[in-house]
Amino acid sequence: MAPNKRKKPVTALAHKPSATASANITRQTIRRYHVLLKEKARLLKGGSSSVSTRLDDIEREMKELGGLEGYQEMSVIGQSKERGGGSEKALVEWLKELGHGMTQSNGSMQHETVDLLEVGALHPGNYARWSKWIHSMPIDLHSRHPDIKEQDFLKLDPVENDGKWDVISLSLVLNFASMPFDRGKMLSLAHGCLKGTGSSYLFLVLPLPCVMNSRFLTPEHLNSLMNAIGFDLVKEKWRPGGKVAYWLWRKKGRPDRKGGAFTKKRVLHEGSSRNNFTILWDGS
Ligand SMILES: C[S@@+](CC[C@H](N)C(=O)[O-])C[C@H]1O[C@@H](n2cnc3c(N)ncnc32)[C@H](O)[C@@H]1O
């Protein structure tokens, strides 16, 4: 019998790798999965029948990497190793700084509840510790638990969710979307799903290189785009050389401006070592 040359899924390694090796495998798997997702989206958009062999190869490799489940497993490992946990701590800290959460008043504890839509949830209980005042609804493309609703955020019913949420968390979700316009659509959709202007927030987390080392995106450009969609920056957190960046944006009225300035990629930084991450928005 011919030897089986197929690679085993990285998620099914027989021997437990060392901590450094496993961190490298985690990072490589996540990166490779993103590359394949992007190529798949590009080929599907092109619609040519001649690409079907390549699409089959992509599907096979994604399966070998463990599919979306394997990707999520790697993300869980990456989350605990590289960030010391999920991003929820950063969000809750900021919400408290803004006066939300439990407060002492007339000798008794008071709280206003915060309705949170957590997009891209790997665990159902990320906000369980704060359940007295944060009512969260975790959703994901692929649910890993009965309490996580399996739902594509891009296909969320906009009427049912119109003005429904106090906070929406998009933590490491935008960079999963392969098409730049889908990323802009997520931001705009979040704007519509948030409650009134002034006191509802979008929590955004991206890998730091998406904004610090991209040809097409800088922190200033992200800020202009968010302003155009209808958000003001309230808080941000990242450190040079860090892995991720966190932002909290407050919903404001949508400015009377079309998204024309954000429909095309524009080189903002030259350099062969830069990546091509960007967010495009057509104004809708
Ligand atoms: C890298 S994990 C991030 C998980 C977690 N939010 C964090 O910050 O560590 C990305 C998750 O987002 C989910 N996701 C990506 N696009 C999505 C979409 N359009 N709707 C819902 N979930 C999505 C993926 O299935 C995956 O579980």
Question: Is residue 140 marked as binding?
Answer: yes
CATH number at residue 114: 3.40.50.150
Query: 204: helix, coil or strand?
Result: strand
User: Domain limits at 252?
Assistant: 88-262
Q: Has residue 272 been placed in a domain? A: no
pLDDT number for residue 2: 45
Looking at the structure, do residues 51 and 95 belong to the same domain, yes or no? no
* Atom of ligand 1 lying closest to residue 87 CA: 8
What is the total count of domains within the chain? Answer: 2
Q: Has residue 270 been placed in a domain? A: no
Q: Has residue 143 been placed in a domain? A: yes
List CB contacts of 150: < 8 A, sequence separation 6 or more.
Answer: 139, 140, 141, 142, 143
Looking at the structure, do residues 118 and 255 belong to the same domain, yes or no? yes
Last residue of a domain, one of 30, 59, 83: 83
Ligand 1 mean position, distance from CA 178 (Å): 12
pLDDT number for residue 207: 94
Residue for token digits 């991003």? 87
pLDDT number for residue 208: 95
Distance (Å, rounded) from C-alpha 159 to C-alpha 65? Answer: 37
Q: What is the mean pLDDT, run by run of 10 residues, along the chain of 284 residues?
A: 43 49 82 92 80 89 90 82 78 95 74 94 95 96 96 95 97 95 96 90 96 96 95 96 94 74 93 93 90
Length of the chain: 284
Distance (Å, rounded) from C-alpha 71 to C-alpha 84? Answer: 19
Ligand 1 mean position, distance from CA 1 (Å): 41
Looking at the structure, do residues 61 and 174 belong to the same domain, yes or no? no
Q: Where are the beta strands (DSSP E) in the chain?
A: 103-105, 108-110, 114-119, 134-140, 149-150, 167-171, 201-207, 231-237, 244-251
Ligand 1 mean position, distance from CA 221 (Å): 24
Q: Ligand 1, residues 116, 176, 182: which to mutate, most atoms within 8 A of Cβ? A: 176
Q: Ligand 1, residues 29, 140, 246: which to mutate, most atoms within 8 A of Cβ? A: 140
pLDDT number for residue 259: 62
Looking at the structure, do residues 67 and 132 belong to the same domain, yes or no? no
Question: Is residue 115 marked as binding?
Answer: no
Q: Has residue 258 been placed in a domain? A: yes
Residues with CB under 6 A from ligand 1: 68, 72, 75, 79, 86-87, 119-120, 122, 139-142, 152-154, 171-173, 176-177, 205
Looking at the structure, do residues 132 and 193 belong to the same domain, yes or no? yes
Looking at the structure, do residues 102 and 233 belong to the same domain, yes or no? yes
Q: Has residue 213 been placed in a domain? A: yes
Question: ipTM, 2 decimals?
Answer: 0.99
Ligand 1 mean position, distance from CA 213 (Å): 22
pLDDT number for residue 83: 63
Neighbour tally for 209: CB within 10 Å: 16
pLDDT number for residue 12: 41
Ligand 1 mean position, distance from CA 103 (Å): 32
Looking at the structure, do residues 38 and 174 belong to the same domain, yes or no? no
pLDDT number for residue 258: 65
